Amino acid sequence: MKQFLPISQEEIAERGWEQLDFLFISGDAYVDHPSFGPAVICRVLEAQGYKVALLCQPAWDKIENFAALGKPRLGVLISGGNLDSMLCHYTAAKNPRSVDKYTAGGAIGQRPDHATMVYAQMVKRLWPHMPVVIGGIEASLRRFVHFDYWENRLLPSILESSHADLLVYGMGEKQIVEIADYLAGGASMEDMHYIRGTAYATDELPDGQEYVKLPGWKAIRDDKKFFAQAYHLQSREQDPFYGKPVVQRGQNKYIVQNPPVYPLTQEEMDAVYDLPYMRQWHPSYDAKGGVAALEEVQFSIVSCRGCFGSCAFCAIHAHQGRIILARCHDSILCEAKIISQLPGFKGYIHDVGGPTANFRHPSCAKQLKYGVCKDRQCLFPEPCPNIDADHSDYIELLAKLRALPGIKKVFIRSGIRYDYMLADKKQDFLDVLCRYHISGLLKIAPEHIAAPVLKRMGKPGKEVYLKFMRAYAKKNKELGLPQYLVPYFISSHPGCTLNNAIELAEFLRDIKHQPEQVQDFIPTPGSAATAMYYSGVDPATGETVFVARNPHDKAMQRALMQYRAPRNRQLVLDALQRAGRTDLIGTEPKCLLAPERRGGGQRMAGLGRSGAIKAGAGLSHGHKGKALGQGRSQGSPAKKRRS
């Protein structure tokens, strides 16, 4: 009989356990679902016969709170949660968030800032000799010297600040079993310093090993350009087939990262998702209304992981890897059948995908033998000639899902790489997508249209986006379907000047689209764009990059994306005046801002609010068309990132 993992002394006693093997401390509330990292890692350990319980969101004011479930026999495992705790707490404007979707009832303040570090410090005070292993997105992406945007300062490796014995980076299933087995066999933490996919802190480097040495704490502190250099060097070693150990001198210790873990086989990945998840939050949260993050993924299926898109602002490729791993059809179909029996299921599978939905296999045949190319990207600046752009397997999978009893509709709502779709010579996926898998809106992410910005982002050019818009409009016209595009754009990305932001505003004007919500760039740890933001240098090229850091400069770029909104009038006016673009102030159709009327009234140029682009809108040379629909929604990264 399936049951939740224990989270209290009472539940531990019900299982007849006298002592845990492992205590897992989580910054999130407990949701037993394969999109939530703590649940996955604990279920993987459970499947290996280990006794594991979760201590979720312990109060960190008293050390004894961390002993609430007893002292474990083998070790303590720690994750700050599905998101970096600072991102959970603060917005791009560094304001406190009003809701925490990973906490019961959305309550704020149930975990500390830098939760992984705080939890590990408390455990080391409570049990100084207890093995402490940290993992999850927060630990994974803060494993080297890093920049914290919210504190606006350089921070040492989380290994140094937390005093943890070992750090697991990446998704973690293989590493955690190897660690558990060695601890169960009596091995010391030092004995495990060679495990792939882990990092550790040490006073002295072992002899006889070849390392890639990064600029250290002192060099980066004294000259920011070394931060970009350090990112570039370590990013080139994040491949399991050729990556070397990486070393960085921290404040007081050396940080040693072992090469990445080898990819899961399809059988191993299927086994992870076939574990007996309850697919619900723990019932103790019912009285508080449950955990909102589950609602966004409860009726969705993770079919793959990894991303060879490698966008500069995203760290998924650094956490999950650039090599695509995919589950087999039978495993996915089995999960769909389970979902169809869940309470509240109305016949709609909300998503089938991963970080990028239409990646179902490695980008080329050589990657599972030789790894990904070190000095080139698969899709940028244009698709590699060797890319295997083929949607046949995905099309077949979707057809099987549609045919299942009780399934009314299967949607695709995670990212679609339209440049990869266009590279598929058969061009049959677009027909399937439009015909069966859109709920009236297709969300895609061009992110910007100015060439200098797209270069820094690692995204395809504006012409590729326009080509897709035309193909999408043509296909929907053939099908007689009134379907819309919702493009995502980012403001203030490194490399984006005020003139680039105005260029994007003019593009939005021409396609008659105004986003309901916009995303301001947040420099989260572990991404190339964050290295640009902190250093002012492109890690890949060494070129100097303009960065909008001043809050007013960022506010102007953000306002330009919603230039019609009355609340943004002064910011847009200021931007146009500063850029010398007063030609865009007036009553002509090309103008972004209308002159202020006498008597205090004001009018914004434009055709009214629009959050989505109707198929066919803005696609002719004159960009004529009509816009209608919903704006950008804030998606949950729950299914994309985990320990």
Tell whether the model's pLDDT for residue 636 goes beyond 50: no
Q: Note the helical H segments in 486-630.
A: 498-510, 528-535, 551-560, 569-578
Residues 281 and 31: beta-carbon distance below 8 Å: yes
pLDDT value at residue 209: 85
What CATH architecture is 296-439? 2-Layer Sandwich (3.30)
Q: What is the pLDDT of residues 97-107, one digit of tens each?
A: 999 999 999 99
The three-point CA angle 642-73-163 to 5° equals 55
Q: How far apart are CA 20 and CA 364, in angstroms?
A: 44
Cα atoms found within 13 Å of the Cα of residue 320, Cβ hemisphere only: 25
Tell whether the model's pLDDT for residue 617 goes beyond 70: no
Q: Which of 114-123, 300-309, 452-461, 510-519 has the lowest mean pLDDT?
A: 510-519
Question: Cβ atoms within 10 A of the Cβ of 574, count?
Answer: 15
Tell whether the model's pLDDT for residue 609 goes beyond 70: no
Q: How far apart are CA 326 and CA 223, in angstroms?
A: 42
Question: Cβ atoms within 10 A of the Cβ of 550, count?
Answer: 10
Q: What is the mean pLDDT of the chain?
A: 92
Give the H or E element holding residue 214.
Answer: strand 212-214
Q: What is the pLDDT of residues 165-205, one digit of tens each?
A: 999 999 999 999 999 999 999 999 999 999 999 999 999 98
Q: What is the CA radius of gyration of the chain?
A: 25
Q: Tell me which amino acid residue 481 is.
A: L
What CATH architecture is 442-643? 2-Layer Sandwich (3.30)
Q: Where are the beta strands (DSSP E) in 328-483?
A: 348-349, 351-353, 409-410, 441-447
DSSP 46-91: HHTT--EEEEES--SSSGGGGGTT---SSEEEEE--SS-HHHHHB-
Tell whether the model's pLDDT for residue 518 goes beyond 50: yes
Tell me the CA distances in angstroms from 574 to 520, 543, 557, 588, one per residue in order. 19, 29, 11, 19
pLDDT value at residue 598: 64
**Hunting for tokens 């602002």 — which residue is that?**
313
Q: How far apart are CA 143 and CA 122, in angstroms?
A: 19
Query: What proportion of the chain, given as a percentage, has pLDDT over 90?
Result: 87
pLDDT value at residue 75: 98
Tell whether the model's pLDDT for residue 468 goes beyond 70: yes
Tell me the CA distances in angstroms from 511 to 459, 547, 603, one per residue in order. 20, 27, 20
Better-predicted residue by pLDDT, 612 or 475:
475
Listed residue (87, 134, 300) closest to 643, CA to CA: 134
Q: How far apart are CA 17 and CA 168, in angstroms?
A: 27
Q: Tell me which amino acid residue 210 is.
A: E
Listed residue (281, 282, 316) closest to 296, CA to CA: 281
Q: Where are the beta strands (DSSP E) in 308-384?
A: 325-326, 348-349, 351-353
Q: How far apart are CA 5 and CA 273, in angstroms?
A: 16
Tell whether the model's pLDDT for residue 230 goes beyond 80: yes
Mean pLDDT of 113-129: 98
Q: How far apart are CA 404 and CA 401, in angstroms?
A: 5
Better-predicted residue by pLDDT, 317 or 504:
504
Tell me the CA distances in angstroms from 128 to 64, 73, 132, 158, 566, one per residue in order. 14, 14, 10, 18, 58
Tell me the CA distances in angstroms from 373 to 242, 305, 369, 387, one per residue in order. 10, 19, 12, 12
Tell whether the model's pLDDT for residue 211 goes beyond 70: yes
Same fold, 296-439 and 442-643: yes
Helix 462-479 to helix 429-436 angle, to the nearest 10 degrees? 60
Does the predicted TM-score (pTM) go above 0.85?
A: yes
Listed residue (344, 96, 143, 97) closest to 255, CA to CA: 143
Going by C-beta distance under 8 Å and a sequence separation of 6 or more, which residues neighbour residue 223?
Answer: none
Q: How far apart are CA 569 and CA 572, in angstroms?
A: 5
Mean pLDDT of 149-178: 97
Domain ranges of the chain: 9-257, 296-439, 442-643
DSSP 120-145: HHHHHHHSTTS-EEEEHHHHHHTSSS
- How confident is residue 216, by pLDDT bands cut at 50, 70 and 90? very high
Token readout for 191 is: 């004995």
Q: Which residue(s) pair with 325 in the sheet? A: 305
pLDDT value at residue 368: 87
Q: What is the pLDDT of residues 23-65, one digit of tens each?
A: 999 999 999 999 999 999 999 999 999 999 999 999 999 999 9
Q: Where are the beta strands (DSSP E) in 411-520?
A: 441-447, 484-491, 519-520
Listed residue (252, 146, 253) closest to 200, CA to CA: 253
DSSP 506-543: HHHHHTT---SS-EE----TT-HHHHHHHHSB-TTT--
Burial class (CB within 10 angstroms; exposed 0-12, middle 13-18, buried 19+) of 345: middle
| Number of residues that make up the chain | 643
Burial class (CB within 10 angstroms; exposed 0-12, middle 13-18, buried 19+) of 105: middle
pLDDT value at residue 614: 58
The dihedrals phi and psi of 527, each to the nearest 5 degrees, come to -110, 155
Going by C-beta distance under 8 Å and a sequence separation of 6 or more, which residues neighbour residue 428?
Answer: 391, 395
Q: How far apart, in Å, do the first and last CA atoms of the chain sit?
A: 26
pLDDT value at residue 621: 33
Q: Which residue(s) pair with 349 in the sheet? A: 410
Mean pLDDT of 337-346: 96
- How confident is residue 607, by pLDDT bands cut at 50, 70 and 90? very low
